[in-house]
């Protein structure tokens, strides 16, 4: 059912203040490499960011994002290539459209749309990745913990 990649290890939601958990879906060709670069340069980015590597942000499915939230993520970051630089031509543009769709879906569900954000960067932009990722973590921190955090997940198929 749920993609195991997106499962957040049981977060201690309230103990000792709020530590947001943000799942970052990163394109291998840009953001994933940028995150690596940030690490290599000792440029810190928040530990709240849990990276999921994708071949392209165009691979993202709405269901992946919904499952991330269902499993307790406080926020989702989609990090794809700069416009015009997608290795698969328009994958990042599709991801942007799906994010618009997700924003509508989150509203319907009762979650703040601002919990999901997309950024566009290149593989060389390690510093920017760290800055933008921190920015989103702060946005999510301001919104507070997801109401879905730490609750036992309802069983879907009992059979």
Partner 1 sequence: MIVAEKKPLEAVARMLENYDRVLAVGCGTCVTVCFSGSGKEVAALAASLRMKRRIEGTPLAVGEGMVQRQCEWEYLDPLADQVKNYDAVLSLGCGVGVQTLAKRFPGTRVLPALNTLFMGLPTEQGVWEERCQGCGNCVLDKTGGICPVSRCAKQLFNGPCGGSQNGVCEVDATVPCAWHMIWERAEALGMTEALMEIEPAKDWSTSRDGGLRRMVREDLRAPREETKEG
Which positions lie near partner 1, rule CB under 8 A?
Answer: 1, 61-63, 66-67, 69-70, 105, 108-111, 147-148, 151, 153-159
User: Measured from the CB atom, is 21 or 70 closer to partner 1?
Assistant: 70
Which lies closer to partner 1 via its Cβ, residue 42 or residue 155? 155
Q: Calculate helix-pair angle for 126-143, 31-40, nearest 10 degrees.
A: 100
Give one word for 121, left, alpha or beta, with left for phi > 0 and alpha for psi -120 to 50.
beta
How many angstroms separate the CA atoms of 93 and 89, rounded?
9
Q: What residues contact 58, with CB distance under 8 A and at least 6 apart? A: 86, 88, 90, 91, 92, 94, 95
Is 31 or 102 the residue whose CB approaches partner 1 more closely? 102
Least Cα distance to 99 among 46, 136, 49, 142 occurs for 136
- Name the residue nearer to partner 1 (CB basis): 4 or 156: 156
Kindly tell me which of 16 and 155 has the beta carbon lying closer to partner 1.
Answer: 155
Cα–Cα distance between 20 and 9 in angstroms, integer?
12
Q: Measured from the CB of residue 95, what is the shortest distance to partner 1 in angstroms?
A: 15
State the number of CA atoms in the 13 A half-sphere of 113 facing the CB. Answer: 10
């Amino acid at each position: 059912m749920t993609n195991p990649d997106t499962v957040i290890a049981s977060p201690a939601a309230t103990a000792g203040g709020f530590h947001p958990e943000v799942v970052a879906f990163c394109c291998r060709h840009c953001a994933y490499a940028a995150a690596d670069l940030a690490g290599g340069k000792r440029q810190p980015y928040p530990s709240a960011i849990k990276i999921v590597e994708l071949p392209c942000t165009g691979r993202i499915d709405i269901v992946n994002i919904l499952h991330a939230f269902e499993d307790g993520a406080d926020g989702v970051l989609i990090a794809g290539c700069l416009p015009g630089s997608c290795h698969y031509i328009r994958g990042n543009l599709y991801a942007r459209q799906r994010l618009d769709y997700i924003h509508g879906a989150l509203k319907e569900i009762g979650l703040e749309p601002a919990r999901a954000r997309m950024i566009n960067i290149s593989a060389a932009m390690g510093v920017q990745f760290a800055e933008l990722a921190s920015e989103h973590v702060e946005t999510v921190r301001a919104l507070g913990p997801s109401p879905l955090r730490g609750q036992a997940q309802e069983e879907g198929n009992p059979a």
